[in-house]
Every structure is written in C-alpha cells, then in structure tokens.
Chains A and B, each alone.
Chain A
Amino acid sequence: GENVEQHPSTLSVQEGDSAVIKCTYSDSASNYFPWYKQELGKRPQLIIDIRSNVGEKKDQRIAVTLNKTAKHFSLHITETQPEDSAVYFCAAIPSRSSGDKLTFGTGTRLAVRP
C-alpha cells in the first residue's frame, strides 16, 4: 500500500520568513496530493491540493510543487504569519480504484515566532 513520509516533524520560523515542508510517497499510481492544516483542537482543514498532471499550484502565500519522477511533493508558505502556526499534514490518494482512502504523513508542527 501507499506510504507517505513527511519532514521535518517540527519547524520554527521567524514571522515573514518562508517555510517548506516536504513529503515523499511510495505508490507511483498516486494521483492526488492534498495538504491539511490543523490548529489546536480544530478539524483538519484542506488548504491546497495538487493533481498528478500538474507540477505546481499557488494560492496567495501558499504553493505546492510535485515531482512525479522523484515521488515527492512540497508545501511552501511565504511571508509567514503567527496565524500560520499549526500542524500541517500531507496526504496522498492512489488511483481511484482504491476509493478515496487518504494516506497521511506524520505531520509537521510549524511555529511562527512574532
């Protein structure tokens, strides 16, 4: 089955700096890669996603890149703000034949220092 590894497990940045979180996946058939943000005591919130036929996607200060050959994808947050502090999870869905099973990475706790 699919295996997703995520690094780093914790990340501390100064407000205004950039943050990068990296994930690798094992199943070359995976075709959908979402990122979730989970604030303390809250539900995971979908913040951005990318399909296997796209190399990069941006949404304001957030961007995700995908390298299918290397089987890794990354989340980039620019101009970080204190409200970006949360745990971020990457995930992958194999081909649709596997239904909608999300395999998650282990999470990255991001702290943005004011």
Chain B
Amino acid sequence: KAGVTQTPRYLIKTRGQQVTLSCSPISGHRSVSWYQQTPGQGLQFLFEYFSETQRNKGNFPGRFSGRQFSNSRSEMNVSTLELGDSALYLCASSLSGTDTYEQYFGPGTRLTVT
C-alpha cells in the first residue's frame, strides 16, 4: 500500500495570506489527524477528521480549519498567516477501527511565513 502523502512539501507565504495543505491517507484509513511541529512546542495536535466529521480539536485559534472528503482525503487551511505559523505540518492516518489505534505520518509540509 502507498503511504500517507502530503502536498505541497514546501511553501513560502507572506503574513496575512492564507494557505491550504492537502493530505491523502493510506488506502482504507478513515481517520486523518493534523499536527503542527515546531522546535519550541514540539508536536501539537490540531484536529482529527473521521468520516468527513471533525471528531476532535486541539487548542489552536479559529484561523486553523480543516475538512475531509468522502474519499478520506483531508485539507487544512490557515487564514491570516502569522510569523508564528511557520512550522512543519504533519498529517497522520489510521484505520480507527474498534481496536486499532496505529497512526502513520506523512512527510509533512514545511510552511515558512515571512
């Protein structure tokens, strides 16, 4: 099976702009979670989508949003970018079955805000 893929891999944006990142999960996986990774804050949970519904949300401002499509692909959007949004954005997919918890990460999108 193909692994989790993310596009684009690198992005440079200016403060105030918005950005959309995409994540394609492993075939058959229904859950997609998004994480922000920074040197200072480590890996922080943004939100999780399951069957096109947001199932869980982290402590990020409303500028961060996401959605999931019927094929389980997910996008996240950040509006009104700030310098502090510069980070590696990782998505992870999982089967999320009755007794399955394993999450597998994509390569990430490196976002730089100038």
- Chain A residues with CB under 8 Å of chain B are 32, 34, 36, 42-46, 49, 89, 91, 93, 98-107
Contacts and interface: CB of A to CB of B under 8 A. Distances in A.
Nearest to B3: A43
Interface residues of B, number: 24
Given A43-B106, A46-B104, A99 B56 contact: yes
Contacts of A45: 105
State the majority secondary structure of interface residues on B: strand
Contacts of A105: 42
Interface string B82-113: 00000000101010100001111111100000
Contacts of A34: 101-103
Nearest to B50: A99
B85 to A, nearest CB: 19
Contact of B43 (A93, A100, A104): A104
A89 B35 CA distance: 14
